[in-house]
Amino acid sequence: MTEPIADPARGKEVFDLDRAHVFHSWSAQGLISPMPVAGGEGSYFWDYEGNKYLDFSCQLVFTNIGFQHPKVVAAIQEQAAKLTTIAPQHANDARAEAAKLITERAGAQHNKVFFTNGGADGIENAIRLARVHTGKHKVLSFYRSYHGNTTSAVTATGDPRRWPNEYAYGHVHFFGPYLYRTPFWSTTEEEESARALEHLEQVIIFEGPATIAAILLESVVGTAGVLIPPAGYLEGVRALCDKYGIKWIADEVMSGFGRTGKWFAYQHSSVEPDLIVFAKGVNSGYVPLGGVVISDEIAATFNERVFPGGLTYSGHPLATAAAVATINAMTDEKMVEHAADIGESVIRPFLEELATKHKVVGEVRGLGAFWAIELVKDRETHEPLAPYGGSSPAMGEVMAACKKAGMIPFMNFNRIHICPPLNVSEEDLRKGIAILDAALAGIAGHYTGK
């Protein structure tokens, strides 16, 4: 492991340049203080002060193979030496090979990929494919969801980032299954699944099946809570889509490429979506890349009909070469299997122990290397430790304590998400969860229940 070398003077230069010229996403520019990052390797990154951080967030849940994997770095270098770029109308070996490897990991009826530059434009184009194919315009999606920053993607999003950005048309939200905070008065996972599906069918009927092109779902809801669909729910969605002539778009941007211990999270079910949107983990974010895996049925629509969409950098050679190397490294090193194993044998028991130990932990849930800890003021009422759409001093204290001890989790509202690299070691998992254990002990005074 490379050890960081402190260079505070350079860190100050980077910080000052950033504050002078960089406009940051989702931020009030005068209220932020970005950490200047000097480097990273494996499950760690470090700043210019020489402080090293265990990355339990995978940045924005995308460095699935960690930082600076040598095989992927080498592939990018080799591709850059051969051909740095080529327009999308040409055939390219890296692009074609990446598409082959991606479709091989999807269903037998998914044989084409439309490449984009990230997840949001993947969602945009999946919606476009569904609308043109069906001739219908509405898109249904969860209230608890995030699908991206672009026009249709952010309007399809359920979380508060949608509110100032609702300029697209034809988007309808509904409640997905979430037993811990059930809107359906359910007491079991079976009830929650059945009642959530009944609710969805009612929404379909009242919106008009003849107007609905697609149901867009994160296969495992990510930023909005790592919400695992109960057994039978995705099968029920598939059945409703077939019954009413609707296409199912699986948003696998965060949950795909091994994050849940399967190549795609929908593969925990027995059914297949019509369109699969991916990004992030496909090449660990080393070069921006996203895309849509297209069912044969939908792809055939465009055999003689022009697809009305395109991107200058679709299937960029550097990005797709990185994807080829990433998928091969994940396969050769059995990272997906490792994520599935550590999820059940290490992460789950550790987090369940935290839930037993700390009253502020209301629930833990997850799969593979994708977990959430729901923090509450009162276990009986489930009152969250921070309000929906906001934060709180208690959550700030947890984050500050983790960072001070050398671990960075993913945090949203009243939840801490544990999303380490798929190849994280058991030793690093133990280290990170011990840091979290101490941080949770530090906020015990914020608990107000019995």
- The CATH number of whichever domain residue 183 belongs to comes to 3.40.640.10
User: Using CA of residue 59, residue 432, residue 265, residue 373, what is the dihedral sign?
Assistant: negative
The pLDDT averaged over each successive group of 10 residues in the chain (450 residues) is 92 98 96 97 98 98 98 98 98 98 96 98 98 98 98 97 95 98 97 98 98 98 98 98 98 98 98 98 98 98 97 98 98 98 97 97 98 98 96 96 97 97 97 98 96
Query: Whole-angstrom Cα distance, residue 323 to residue 289?
Result: 8
DSSP for 215-229, written as a single string:
EEEESSB-TTT-BPP
Query: Is residue 109 domain-shared with residue 198, that is, in the same domain?
Result: yes
Domain end: 332, 352, 371, which one?
332
Q: Are 414 and 392 in contact (CB under 8 A)?
A: yes
Query: Is residue 125 domain-shared with residue 197, that is, in the same domain?
Result: yes
Give the SS3 label for residue 209.
helix
Domain end: 291, 315, 332, which one?
332
Do the domain assignments include residue 285? yes
Which of 399, 395, 400 lies closest to 414, judged by CA? 395
Query: Is residue 277 domain-shared with residue 404, that is, in the same domain?
Result: no
Do the domain assignments include residue 225? yes
Which of 184, 202, 206 lies closest to 193, judged by CA? 184
Query: Whole-angstrom Cα distance, residue 106 to residue 238?
Result: 16
User: Using CA of residue 265, residue 139, residue 417, residue 420, what is the dihedral sign?
Assistant: positive
Which of 368, 328, 264 lies closest to 70, judged by CA? 328
Beta carbons within 8 Å of 407's beta carbon, 6+ residues apart:
53, 54, 56, 431, 432, 435, 436
Query: Whole-angstrom Cα distance, residue 53 to residue 40?
Result: 9
Which of 105, 420, 371 lies closest to 263, judged by CA? 105
Query: Is residue 184 domain-shared with residue 281, that is, in the same domain?
Result: yes
Do the domain assignments include residue 260? yes
Give the pLDDT score at 79.
98
Residue 12, Cβ neighbours under 10 Å: how many?
A: 12
Do the domain assignments include residue 1? no
Query: Is residue 317 domain-shared with residue 344, that is, in the same domain?
Result: no
Q: Are 177 and 103 in contact (CB under 8 A)?
A: no
CA 236-238-239 angle, to 5 degrees, is: 65
User: Which tokens sit at 15?
Assistant: 């910080």
User: Which tokens sit at 75?
Assistant: 């592939």
Query: Is residue 192 domain-shared with residue 324, that is, in the same domain?
Result: yes
Do the domain assignments include residue 122? yes
Give the pLDDT score at 186.
98
Query: Is residue 296 domain-shared with residue 187, that is, in the same domain?
Result: yes
Query: Is residue 345 domain-shared with residue 396, that is, in the same domain?
Result: yes
Query: Is residue 229 domain-shared with residue 297, that is, in the same domain?
Result: yes
Do the domain assignments include residue 2? no
| CATH number for the domain that contains residue 384 | 3.90.1150.10
Query: Is residue 407 domain-shared with residue 299, that is, in the same domain?
Result: no
Query: Is residue 89 domain-shared with residue 54, that is, in the same domain?
Result: no
Do the domain assignments include residue 3? no
Q: Are 296 and 75 in contact (CB under 8 A)?
A: no
Query: Is residue 313 domain-shared with residue 396, that is, in the same domain?
Result: no
Domain end: 267, 301, 332, which one?
332
Do the domain assignments include residue 255? yes
Domain range for 249 is: 70-332
Give the pLDDT score at 367.
98
Could you tell me where the DSSP H helices lie in 25-118? 58-61, 70-82, 93-104
- Per the structure, the count of domains in the chain is 2
Give the pLDDT score at 450.
87
Q: Are 62 and 285 in contact (CB under 8 A)?
A: yes
User: Which tokens sit at 288?
Assistant: 């921006």
pTM above 0.95, yes or no: yes
Give the pLDDT score at 1.
80
Q: Are 240 and 259 in contact (CB under 8 A)?
A: no
